């Protein structure tokens, strides 16, 4: 078995244990769609000073549930503060634990307590503003492909998986677009890969925080359905790697610098870092084959050939794939991106920054990570040193998101900005 296949098997075990029109053409397409669809006139209220269309909630409770779920992947289409409040309430009160079927039953036959929660959800929905069409706010990363890459038979998760881990029928992965007004003036570009769909409020916060620091921001909404032959992490890997490649492929049209891209993952979302290092040049078909899975019916395109490497990787509450969980072995050395051939081409492993809390169960391997990174940079035969930092926050648990509840984490994003710029401005 070659090195990449060995690495593939290791990654699969790790992840399972852890739980095309160009963009320039999209504006014309979405404008046409907007003309074909009746739109409400934008309104501005003194209370919110938001320009956009104020939503009207369905009267039927079940339809309200479906409507809120359908909004979830299109975060950039809505005013961030009102959308964040709606999604956070929805997730914490309904989608975090039960399945979709459980929630449908709950909304169809609510008890008195649930009725009150549904009414609050309806109020939040009615105070949410849509500022763009879904097509204007997002990019379809598999555009041009009627058949998405699915390595096996999908299992309907409606009654078996947490609602926040289940994809609705017909869901297509998208990238939410929060670029600056002039993307070319940004200090860099951040791609946020949240843990699960329950991290929507976190994704919105990343956009707000890093836009204010001068970054273009994209958020990845990936598939997480289960398939009979493997787990949902395979879908996450395929979609997030495709998102990185899509953005790099269209960098000129998007007005961004492809050499200044940072990926930040949350928990499960950190799995994408392996797809930008050890598997940066592996196509969807090759990746699935390395796991013993067959990808039927998918035709690869030019985007699949784009190297998925990035300048910086930020590991937020989790460090999947840097060291082997059982042996503590450094898994990035002499595999994938790290090679003399790639170094001669100017291709290097990304700078790495790790964020964890003292109560974060996913941070237990950080001592091994730091030991291996120190050892790597101390080697005389290394091709180059790896830039890295570790930040551990006191009394902070797993899933801290952007740290809105923790002042020490909130302050930490300034350190992330400094780290990114110290690397990309060398």
Q: How many CB atoms lie within 10 A of CB 308?
A: 24
Q: What is the DSSP string of 112-153?
A: HHHHHHHHHHHHHHHT-EE-S-HHHHEEETTTT-SS---SSP
Q: How far, in Å, CA of 402 to CA of 205, rounded? A: 7
The residue to which tokens 């100017």 are assigned: 346
Q: Give the pLDDT confidence of 166-208 residue by residue, as tens digits.
A: 888 889 999 999 999 999 999 999 999 988 776 788 899 899 9
Tens of pLDDT, residues 124-154: 999 999 999 999 999 999 999 999 999 988 8
β-strand 261-266 against 351-359: which pairing, if any? unpaired
CB 164 within 8 A of CB 87: no
What are the structural domains of the chain? 3-24+140-424 (3.40.50.1820), 38-130 (no CATH)
Among 44-53, 96-105, 249-258, 393-402, name the most confident range: 249-258
Structure tokens at 286: 């090759």
* The token pair that represents 174 in the structure block: 């998208």
100-137 burial, b at 16+ Cβ within 10 Å, e below that, comes to beebbebbeebeeeeeebbeebbebbebbbbbbbbbbb
């Amino acid at each position: 078995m070659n090195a990449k296949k060995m690495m593939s098997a290791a990654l699969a075990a790790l992840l399972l244990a852890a739980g095309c029109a160009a963009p320039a053409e999209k504006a014309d397409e979405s404008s046409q769609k907007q003309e074909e669809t009746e739109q409400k006139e934008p309104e501005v209220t003194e209370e919110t000073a938001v320009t956009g269309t104020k939503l009207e909630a369905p009267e039927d409770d079940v339809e309200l549930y479906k409507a809120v779920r359908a909004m979830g992947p299109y975060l950039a289409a809505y005013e961030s503060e009102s959308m964040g409040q709606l999604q956070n309430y929805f997730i914490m009160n309904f989608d975090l634990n039960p399945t979709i079927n459980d929630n449908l039953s709950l909304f169809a036959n609510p008890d008195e307590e649930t009725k009150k929660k549904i009414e609050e959800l309806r109020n939040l929905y009615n105070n949410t503003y849509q500022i763009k069409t879904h097509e204007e706010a997002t990019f379809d990363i598999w555009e041009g492909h009627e058949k998405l890459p699915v390595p096996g038979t999908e299992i309907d998760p409606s009654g078996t998986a947490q609602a926040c881990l289940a994809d609705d029928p017909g869901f297509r992965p998208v990238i939410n677009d929060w670029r600056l007004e002039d993307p070319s003036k940004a200090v860099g570009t951040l791609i946020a890969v949240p843990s699960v769909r329950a991290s929507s409020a976190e994704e919105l916060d990343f956009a707000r925080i890093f836009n204010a620091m001068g970054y273009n921001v994209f958020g990845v909404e990936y598939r997480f359905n289960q398939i009979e032959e493997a787990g949902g992490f395979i879908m996450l890997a395929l979609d997030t790697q495709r998102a990185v490649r899509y953005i790099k492929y269209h960098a000129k049209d998007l007005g961004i610098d492809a050499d200044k891209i940072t990926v930040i993952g949350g928990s499960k979302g950190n799995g994408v870092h392996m797809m930008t290092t050890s598997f940066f040049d592996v196509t969807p078909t090759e990746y699935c084959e390395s796991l013993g899975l067959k990808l039927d019916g998918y035709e690869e395109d030019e985007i699949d050939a784009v190297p998925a490497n990035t300048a910086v990787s930020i590991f937020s509450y989790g460090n999947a794939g840097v060291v082997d969980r059982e042996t503590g072995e450094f898994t990035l050395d002499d595999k994938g991106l790290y090679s003399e051939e790639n170094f001669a081409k100017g291709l290097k492993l990304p700078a790495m920054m790790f964020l964890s809390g003292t109560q974060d169960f996913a941070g237990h391997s950080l001592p091994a990570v730091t030991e291996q990174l120190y050892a790597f940079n101390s080697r005389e035969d290394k091709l180059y040193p790896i830039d890295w930092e570790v930040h551990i926050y006191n009394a902070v648990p797993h899933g801290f998101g952007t740290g809105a509840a923790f002042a020490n984490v909130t302050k930490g994003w300034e350190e992330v900005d400094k780290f990114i710029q110290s690397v990309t401005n060398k």
